[in-house]
A = this chain, B = another copy of it.
Amino acid sequence: MTPTATSHDTVHTPLTAERVLAGAIELADRIGIEQFTIRRLATELDVKPMTIYHHVPSKDAIIDGIVDVVFGQIDLPPDELEWSAAIRRRCVSARSVLARHPWAPPLMESRTTPGPATLRHHDAVLGCFRRGGLSLQLTAHAYAIIDSYLYGFALQEANLPFHGDEEIAELAEAILESFPVEAFPHLAEFTTQHVLRPGYSFGHSFEFGLDVLLAGIAAAQQSNP
């Protein structure tokens, strides 16, 4: 580290809050939120740790910020579609966004200071239900159950400890070997006869459940006009 800049270094454009957040997301995606530290982020951004604090006030503010960025990545329900189709689109988009950021699901609903993209997102979803003719009461139920399902599915999907057919087989065998088959017969059956069969994918259930919920909301709307 000579005091004069090493000549081969490309001149860095000054760090900004946006670059900090973008780097934070990239790092969290790669190593997980547990391993995510200011020091590692600094290395990633090619600066020293304290430099980061000139652009964001704290690690917590970074978490707030990246959650808002993720909200911004989710497609809003398109105005031109009928409400249930629009919400469906938004949910499918959200699931794919949350799958790209496995650290996000537990955090999306835990921030007490929502950012602008978060507010815009909630406003758009509420507006979609209302334009579809749902009462405030039913809108509340609908939003609560749809998002519960969405975040819960994303949470489970993000925590699947495998990402391919080989890994799933390894893990399943490890768990199965940890207890006698007679102790948990249904778990053993389910694992060997279904999960380990080719073609199994947890994600296949997503649209099934989503459509059940949307149909249930639509039915409630009919029966209570």
Q: How far in angstroms is the closest Cβ of chain B from A80?
A: 17
Verify if A72 is at the interface (C-beta below 8 Å from B).
Answer: no
Q: Cβ of A186: which chain B residues have Cβ within 8 Å of it? A: 123-124, 126-127, 130
Q: Does A156 contact B (CB under 8 A)?
A: yes
Residues of B within 8 A of A139 (CB): 190, 194
Stretch at the interface among A9-17, A20-28, A36-44, A107-115: A107-115
The reply to whether the CB of A83 lies closer than 8 angstroms to some CB of chain B is no
In the complex, whether A205 has a CB less than 8 A from a CB of chain B is: yes
Among A112, A120, A144, residue most surrounded by chain B Cβ atoms (within 10 Å):
A144
Question: Which chain A residues in 208-223 approach chain B with CB under 8 Å?
Answer: 208-209, 212-213, 215-217, 220
Partner of A109 from B114, B136, B159, B183 at Cβ < 8 Å? B159
Chain B residues, CB < 8 A from A52: none
Number of copies: 2
Contact present for B156 and A151 (CB under 8 Å): yes
Q: Does A85 contact B (CB under 8 A)?
A: no
- The residue on B at minimum CB distance from A208 is B141
Interface residues of chain A: helix, strand, loop or mixed (majority)? helix
- Knowing A106-B106, A194-B137, the reply to whether A213 touches B205 (Cβ < 8 A) is no
- Contact residues, A82-130 vs B (CB, 8 A): 105-106, 109-110, 112, 114, 116, 119-120, 122-124, 126-127, 130
Q: Does A148 contact B (CB under 8 A)?
A: yes
Taking CB atoms, residues of chain B closer than 8 Å to A200 are 140
Give, as a whole number of angstroms, the nearest-CB distance from A79 to chain B: 13
Contact B145 A205 (CB under 8 A): yes
Could you jot down 19 A-B contacts, CB within 8 Å?
A106-B106, A112-B171, A114-B175, A119-B179, A130-B186, A136-B190, A136-B193, A139-B190, A140-B194, A141-B208, A144-B202, A144-B209, A145-B149, A145-B212, A148-B149, A152-B153, A212-B213, A212-B215, A213-B216
The residues of A with any CB-CB pair to B shorter than 8 Å are: 105-106, 109-110, 112, 114, 116, 119-120, 122-124, 126-127, 130, 136-137, 139-141, 144-145, 147-153, 155-156, 159, 161, 171, 175, 179, 183-187, 189-190, 193-195, 200, 202, 204-205, 208-209, 212-213, 215-217, 220
